[in-house]
């Protein structure tokens, strides 16, 4: 799907993308593969060249933030510290991008890594090691908590323990983030929004970003239930927005889990069609959080399931066609720069 780029000069900081090489991990995903895993396998390798091609495909992406995805761990560091390998790798990609050899793009200007917070206070040492691996770019962590009683929603490799964010040991580790001024990205599924609400209330001084609009579900046992569950999702979003320490990422809706669209990958849907599907979710989030606590994201290459990179951002621009220039500057770049402390990208 090719489209004329809407507002091609609007500066964008993409605050959520991955880099990975799943090819050596293929034996971990035996046939028949779960449908969500198939969407990842479809882009088994996504490196700097692929990212660069996407972000320079028409929109004015000036910088990005890398989001942890369990890639390039270094087992030589031991189980607790092996995520340091991911931050080391991404810091190298960021250095490659900032060399100027590939244009003005500041890829991976911010890095969000992973630490197992269920280690309790011992997670503090891991956070320090992650920061040491990239002192100028490491900003915080994501410890995903996505879980559902239906194993078909995500597939076994991606299920976190139920109610992870309410676990006492997890919260002991979570407290280490606040001591260091680090941020936390929360990925849960729509039925779990109350877990993020409870966490945000317990730690009002720690900055939290809810990923993917809270991940509405439209597949497996949730097939055909997006409309039925919309009010439940909306109530959770509004309740969470009352926590001033929380921001929301506007995106992730092109994931296979959301079924918006139902077919993929890169189903060929245009931005007008996608805008119609996503409008109730995007507008609800912006109404709840305001234009100062929301940021658009690509979630690439996962969202390649439903949209090419140019179409994805065209969709977001269609959804904000009536926003002011100031509001667009915040939603597309300014809020991401502030939350992830990469203001230098805007300079």
Residues 114-162: tens digit of each pLDDT: 999 999 999 999 999 999 999 999 999 999 999 999 988 987 666 799 9
Residues of the domain holding 216: 11-346
Q: Is the overall model pTM greater than 0.85, yes or no? A: yes
Is residue 167 within 8 Å of residue 210, measured between CB atoms? Answer: no
In a domain, 179, yes or no: yes
* Residues 6 or more apart whose Cβ sits within 8 Å of residue 14: 55, 61, 63, 64, 65, 297, 298, 300, 336
The predicted model gives 333-339 an average pLDDT of 98
Distances in Å between the Cα of 325 and the Cα atoms of 7, 11, 289, 313, 331 are: 11, 11, 18, 16, 10
Measured in whole angstroms, the distance separating CA 247 from the mean position of its chain's CA atoms is 12
- Answer yes or no: is 244 within a domain: yes
pLDDT for res 34: 59
Check residue 266 and give its pLDDT: 66
pLDDT in tens, 70-98: 999 999 999 999 999 999 999 999 999 99
300 part of a folded domain: yes
286 within domain boundaries: yes
Tokens of 33: 């593969």
Lowest mean pLDDT among 152-161, 205-214, 217-226, 269-278: 152-161
Spell out the SS3 assignment of 285-322.
Answer: HHHHHCCCCEEECCCECHHHHCCCHHHHHHHHHHHCCC
Question: Would you say residue 132 lies in a domain?
Answer: yes
Check which CATH number belongs to the domain holding 105 and give it.
3.20.20.140
Read off the DSSP letter of residue 162.
T
108 token code pair = 């991976």
Number of domains in the chain: 1
Mean residue pLDDT across the chain:
94
3-state secondary structure of 26: helix
152: in domain? yes
Task: Please report whether residue 147 resides in a domain.
Answer: yes
Q: Is residue 3 part of a domain?
A: no
SS3 275: helix
Q: Give the model's pLDDT for residue 75.
A: 97
Percent of the chain predicted with pLDDT > 90: 87
Element (H, E) at 66: strand 60-67
């Amino acid at each position: 799907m090719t489209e004329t780029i809407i507002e091609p000069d609007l500066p964008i900081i993409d605050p959520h993308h991955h880099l990975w090489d799943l090819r050596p991990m293929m034996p971990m995903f035996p046939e028949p593969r779960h449908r969500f895993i198939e969407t990842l396998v479809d882009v088994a390798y996504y490196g700097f060249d692929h990212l660069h091609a996407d972000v320079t495909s028409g929109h004015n992406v000036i910088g990005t933030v890398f989001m942890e995805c369990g890639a390039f761990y270094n087992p030589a560091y031991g189980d607790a510290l092996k995520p340091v390998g991911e931050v080391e790798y991404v810091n190298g990609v960021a250095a490659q991008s900032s060399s100027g050899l590939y244009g003005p793009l500041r890829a991976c200007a911010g890095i969000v890594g992973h630490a197992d917070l269920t280690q309790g206070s011992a997670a503090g040492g891991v956070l320090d090691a992650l920061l040491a691996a990239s002192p100028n770019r490491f900003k915080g962590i994501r410890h995903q908590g996505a879980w559902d009683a239906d194993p078909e929603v995500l597939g076994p490799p991606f299920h976190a323990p139920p109610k992870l964010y309410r676990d006492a040991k997890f919260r002991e580790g979570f407290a280490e983030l606040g001591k260091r001024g680090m941020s936390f990205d929360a990925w849960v599924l729509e039925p779990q929004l109350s877990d993020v609400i409870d966490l945000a209330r317990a730690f009002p001084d720690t900055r939290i970003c809810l990923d993917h609009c809270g991940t509405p579900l439209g597949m497996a046992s949730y097939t055909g239930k997006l409309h039925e569950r919309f009010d439940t999702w909306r109530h959770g979003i509004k309740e969470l927005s009352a926590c001033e320490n929380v921001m929301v990422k506007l995106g992730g809706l092109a994931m296979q889990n959301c079924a918006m669209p139902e077919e993929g990958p890169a189903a060929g849907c245009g931005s007008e069609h996608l805008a119609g599907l996503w409008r109730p979710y995007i507008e609800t989030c912006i109404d709840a959080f305001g234009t100062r606590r929301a940021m658009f994201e690509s979630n690439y290459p996962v969202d390649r399931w439903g949209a090419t990179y140019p179409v994805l951002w065209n969709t977001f621009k269609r959804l904000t066609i009536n926003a002011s220039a100031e509001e667009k500057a915040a939603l597309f770049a300014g809020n991401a720069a502030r939350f992830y402390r990469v203001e230098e990208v805007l300079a």
